[in-house]
Structures are given as structure tokens and as C-alpha cells.
Structure 1
């Protein structure tokens, strides 16, 4: 005789809420730390430019030792392009390769505008007004900066806030991404094999990278265009290679997934190789005609991509990660955009006001300390007073680009 148990069945315990994955938290902290280091390096680089002099006998950098000079003169703008493209392309790469969904272009552009425009417009208006106390002033410069077109002007590309020429390229990249991203998704949709979808995305990134590389080669060696023709070498046709490298990194990260994460030894080797390559480019590119100078930006973009990949796409986050996520570095990273926008006007105001040491090799180290001592606190204040409040505007729209209903119960009332 069989019997049936009548003992009550215990309900399954409620599932514990999922915590964010440790690698994701570590990656976000590392990226913030990277931003902080890159922003600090940008300040040092522009102080170096301010103290760099030329004469008939040659150039005189503010650091006598050429090996130390190569370190402080290392330009990091391509890192910001690579990082921006990597982060913003991830969703499109996931959609093209694995069929994930993407946000509407209007939502993407709205959130990028909220992130970039308020601080930028305020800073440009303030700096331009202080340098043009009587109207009409350099009104064409103001128009170009407010329309993000200063990168196409040979004379005024570095006016008002010099480093913000790069924001012109950022804005152009945003529009290029919302055009190319959905196009890549549609192109890969009929492909059944995942490897084929990865190949299509990787080939597109490679073509976008090779184009600027060829443009630079033809301009320099084919038409002998001098390096002072800024629109030729600073425009999107020459600098989009860094964005293409970042897009390729996003494709590689999605294609490899967690199974392709680097082990500790491989990550260390790649980091050292990337750092050595960047330093070598800076060391050997002393003159405008040197190949390391001519092709510095597309080559450095690849090296920054390698360094970023070997930092965020690893199995275990060790000492390098712990150092990048140090509180003071991530704090600077949080305010890196404000530091990027304000540091040059601050440096020039201090210099013209006699608050920085006079030009010369003896004055450069102290000038770096003084500019950082003023610019970093100003950047933190700018972040909390301007950037953070402006970022709250992004909450006005949901992920589908529709106006967010903050009080649905109130809207339901008659």
C-alpha cells in the first residue's frame, strides 16, 4: 500500500535582491579614476604649453631633461575620445551583436546635451564677456564657440577657451553615432551567426579608423600641408580615428564577454606595453615633421584603447584598480569636465595677473602646483553648482524619450 505524505510544503525562501556585480562597480570606479588622471594630465600639458618657448636656435621646453619633458608633454585628448566612444557605443554593440534594445536617438542626444551644453555655454559666455568688455567684440568667435564650429576656423580655433575645440568633435561624434549605430543594427539583423555580426561591426570600426589615418598621410606627405593648418589636422576627418578605436573596443568587449576577460599577468603585460608605447611616441615626436608627431593621434588612440581594455576587461581587479579608485582621484574624475573647461581660463588669468612664476624652466613646476591648487577647487564647485543640477534635467525623460510622469496619481485625478 502506498501512502501520500500530507506534510505541508515549505514555500521557497524569497530570492535575495541582486546586488550589482563587483566587476561593474570596479569598472565604473576605474573609469572615473582614469578621467581624473587624464584631467590632471591635461592641466599639466597646457601649463607646459604656456611655458614652452621658441627661438631661432630651436624649441626650449620648460623641462630641461628630455625624458622628463616627454612625460609632462604627453597629450591625452585621444583618451577622452576613446573613452567617450567606448561607453556610448556599448549599447549599440550589444544591440547589433546580441539583439539588445537601444534608446531612441532623441533621448540619447537630449541626455548628452544636458551633460555638455549648460556648463559649456555658461563658461564660454563668461570668458568671452571678460575678454570683450565692449561690443561687438570678437563676435564671430562667440558664434563659432556657441555653435561648436570653432574647429573649422584656422584663426579662432583656440580662442576664448582653447581646449574646447575637442567638444566640437564630441558633438559631431554624437550625431555620427546615432546615424551609424542603428545602421549597424539593421545591417547585422539578417545574419544568423554571431561571429558574422561581430565581423561586420569590427570591419566598420576598422574602416572608420583607417580613413583619418590615410587623410593625415596624404595631407602631410602628399600635399605637404603644414601642421599649423589646424582645421586639416584637428577636424573630424583627421581625429575621428580615436572615436573609431573606442567603438572598436566596445565591439570587442561585447564580442568577448565575460569569458574573454584577461588574466592578471596578461593585463599587466598589456598595460606596460601601452604605457611604454605612449611614452615612446611622446619621446620620439619632438619635431613637427617626425612620423611619431604626424601620426601621434591615431597611434596614441590605439595605445589608449589597449590600456583601457587591459584595465576594465579583466577577471580580477588588483592593485592597479585599487589605485585608480582612490577617493581623491575619483573625486577629480567626477569633476573632470569642469576642470577641463575652466583650467585654461584660470591659468591665463593667473599668468596675466602676475600670480604665476615668469617663463622659464625654473618657474614651470611651481606654476603647475599653483594652477592645480586653484583649478581643482573651482572645478569641484562648478560640478556641484552647475553640472550636477543640470544633470537632473535628464530625468525629465524616460528611457524611451517620453516625458517622465513624476506624479502619476496626481495626473489621474479629475
Structure 2
């Protein structure tokens, strides 16, 4: 039986309403983007191309969600001046969330079936690039998810695995940021400055690298631009790393801080008009990225994703436990897609590559895209379900809360937020990431 949906500050161990739905939408949107990119490539130059570009921002949403969910318990601890969550349990939970399902998918697709990139994504979809990995060092690097730090192995293996390397890097860096923030807070007696410091630094790092990449690729051929961002180059190592995606995590961290500061002031609900304003602002930011600031489209999409996240997770002031947006996202098909979003992420591109190399796609234009989409979904959904129910869920059941609730403390305000934020991080399924992200 599924645990009941709860508002933003759930009781111990319950999930955060609407999060699975957001992940489900993001996972399916990225699937269709990759379908257009790889299998129905002609649609990228037509009017559907704009829609597919928007679908690609599902990856952005995953990074933002991860920053929000994982930073929130640390932010609460920093602002409260208390102890940090259990770092040992935090590390164990992150490993359980990422590695079991990844190792199974990698072994099956890259070593058995032969639906992985041998040379890298910029080398095309021919038989010389899509197949089984045989280089022992390459296999070992991919199993450890360090292939993205080695130029000759960039974008090899599972096409989506570069994002896992960035995600794991965030896992490792986040406790270090939190520890330094705690030290700054104690030294300066300014907890808010300490809490805001690293989210702002993350945003500045990501924006800076985006602007640098845009400047460095001016005048280059499309092939050279692809190699710069996704090829076997040191620039691709940098841009696909945590540093290249830093602002996306940062926007989620800022959203977590906003929520925590609201709770510090005992503000737990917002009016419908504010929610509408947040959604309108998100739409405006996205339109700005598409119209006049295309080099910063992904960065602006991160801002929009954070605004949408706030509008979804904050209950309305009318007294309902969850708002209407979260209620829609709790619709069973959307929530199930969210629950299996990580497995969908792992399997959908190998399925697409397998279909292409076996000449089973029904066409490569806009008219064939719905049929291709149904075909990919029909193959991906069973694989994702098997992966989720027999690998992911058993592994996640071994996860433990990274903090213990103190039943002697009141269940409201900042003290309650400390406990519930840690529960969100431990028990809300992690916002995972998709591939072919920022170019």
C-alpha cells in the first residue's frame, strides 16, 4: 500500500505530495526529446523542434529537485544551529539509490545486449559506436561512474550516465558545503549568510561556465560545438561535470532555503494568488529563454523549475492539506511514472538505440513520432517496472532516515521542520536525472 500524500511538512517517513508527479512528467518528456533527437531527427528542424527543446528541460527539473530535496535538511540544521544529519546514513542512502539499478541496467545493455555507446555520443548511431563494451578499463570506469572524468571515455556506456556522475559529485560535495557553512555560521554568528553562501556560489559557477562555453564556441562548426560539449575533450569533461550543472542544483537549494525561512517565520501556506504568480513568473522566464536569451535557456529553465516546485509543494491558504497542483500530480498514472522515473531514465535510451540498430523504427519524421513513441514506451515500461520492483524498491527499503525525530519537541515551526526535512530527504525518492542535457 502506498503511503498517503502529505503537505510540505509531512509526518515522519511520509512522502512529499507532488514530487513523484513532477518526476514522472520530467521522465516522459526527456524520453520524447531523445526519441526526436535520435530516432525521429527530422522533427528537430520543424515546428515540433521547439516543443522537443522544452521537453529536454525535464533534465533541468531533475537537477533542481535533487538540490531541493537533499539540501533542505542541511539548510534547516544550518539555520537552526543544530547538528547536521547523519552523514553515514546519508552516504549509504545515496549509494542505495543510484548504484543497484544502474549496475543492472549497465550490465544488461552495455555488456549483454549491446545497446551502449562504445566511442561516445558524438560518433553517431552506427554499429561501430552502438554495441557492447569490451575494454576492461572502460567497463571498470563506467561501473564506478567515473568515465566522465576521463576524456577518451566521455559519453560512453549508458548514454544517460554522465548525469549520474554529476549527481554523485553533488552527493559528495553537499556535506562538505554544509560543514563549511556550519563553521562560517559559528564564526560569524550569521546563520543566514552561511546558509545562502553555497547556493549562490553554485548559481554563479553554473552561469559562469555557461557563458564561457557560449563565448568559446562562437564561430565553430556544429561538429566542433558538439565535440566541445559532448566529445572526448577536456571541455566536455568540465561542462558535463557538477560544475557545469552547478546552478541547476543551486536553484533547488535556494528553493529549499525559501521554504525553510518561511517555516522559521511560521508561514506554512501561501495564497492561491501567490501560486498563480509563481507559475506566471515561471512561464515568463521560460519564454524569455526561448525568445531572447537562448544561450541561457537551460539556466533560465532552472529558475522556472524552482518556481514551479514552490507552487506545487506549498499548500494553499484555504485549508486543504495539499494544493490543487499537487493533487493533479498525484493522479495514479503520473505518480507511477514518477516512482519508476529513474528506471525509465536508465532504460529508455538503450531501447531507442536497440530499435534503431535493428531497423525497427517506423520512420524518421513528425508523422511517425507518435508510433515510435508508443513503441519505445511499450518496451521501456515493462523494463522499468521490473527494474523498479525487483531492484530499486528492495534497495530503497534498506535506506534509513538521516535524522531521528524527537517526539518531545513540538510538531510545528523550525523544530518540526528539522525532522520533516530530514524525512523528506531520506524517504522521498531522489529526483534523478536524464541524459543529453545542457549543450
Please tell me the TM-score bracket, short chain as reference: 0.7 to 0.9
Asked whether 1:39 is paired with 2:40, we answer: no
The answer as to whether partners of 1:212 and 1:241 remain within 8 angstroms in 2 is: yes
In structure 2, how many angstroms separate the alpha carbons of the residues matched to 1:20 and 1:114? 23
Q: Return closer, same or farther for 1:20/1:298 CA change in 2, 3 Å cut-off.
A: closer
Contact 1:90–1:254 (CA<8 Å) still a contact in 2? Answer: yes
CA contact (8 A) 2:33 2:52 kept: no
Within the candidate set 379, 385, 388, 1:380 is matched to 385
Counterpart selection for 1:267 from 253, 275, 298: 275
More moved, 329-338 vs 249-258:
249-258
The equivalent of 2:434 in structure 1 is none
Higher relative contact order (CA 8 A, sep 6+): 2
**Distance in structure 2 (CA, Å) of the matches to 1:134 and 1:238:** 28
CA RMSD in angstroms comes to: 3.0
Asked if residue 348 in structure 1 is aligned to residue 353 in structure 2, the reply is: yes
Q: Could you say which residue in structure 1 is the equivalent of 2:204?
A: 210
Match of 1:166 among 149, 163, 166: 163
Moved more, 60-69 or 202-211: 60-69
Separation in 2 of the partners of 1:222 and 1:75? 23
Deviation at 1:173, TM superposition (A): 0.4
Q: Equivalent residues in 2 for 1:296-315 (5 A)?
A: 296-315=297-316
Per the alignment, residue 221 of structure 1 pairs with: 215
* Counterpart secondary structure, 2:18: helix
Partner of 2:241: 235
Q: 1:234 and 1:241 mapped to 2: Cα distance?
A: 13
Q: TM-score, normalised by structure 2?
A: 0.75
Q: Distance in 1 between matches of 2:316 and 2:75?
A: 21
- Aligned pairs for 1:3-402 (under 5 A) are 22-24=7-9, 28-51=16-39, 53=41, 60-62=42-44, 64-66=46-48, 69-70=51-52, 73-130=55-112, 131=114, 137-154=134-151, 156-190=153-187, 196-221=190-215, 224=218, 227-228=225-226, 229-230=228-229, 231=236, 232-257=238-263, 258-259=266-267, 261-278=269-286, 281=289, 283-284=290-291, 291-292=293-294, 294-316=295-317, 317-395=322-400
Cα 1:304–1:72 change in 2 (3 A) is closer
Q: Structure 2: any 5+ residue segments left out of the alignment?
A: 119-129, 230-235, 405-439
Distance 1:256 1:170, change over 3 A: same
Report how far residue 280 of structure 1 moved: 5.0
Q: What is the CA deviation profile of residues 317-362 of structure 1, one whole-angstrom value per residue up to 9, with x for unaligned ones?
A: 4332221111111111111111111111112222333332122222
Tell which structure's C-alpha radius of gyration is larger.
1
- What corresponds to 2:429 in structure 1? none
Please report how far the alpha carbon of residue 31 of structure 1 lies from its aligned counterpart in structure 2 after TM superposition.
0.6
Distance 1:343 1:136, change over 3 A: closer
Distance 1:398 1:359 in 2: 48
Between the aligned partners of 2:131 and 2:347, the Cα distance in structure 1 is 23
Cα distance in 2 for residues equivalent to 1:96 and 1:392? 28
TM-score (norm: length of structure 1): 0.79
Q: Secondary structure at the match of 1:295?
A: helix
Question: Cα 1:64–1:329, aligned 2, differ >3 Å: closer, same or farther?
Answer: same
Aligned to 2:435: none
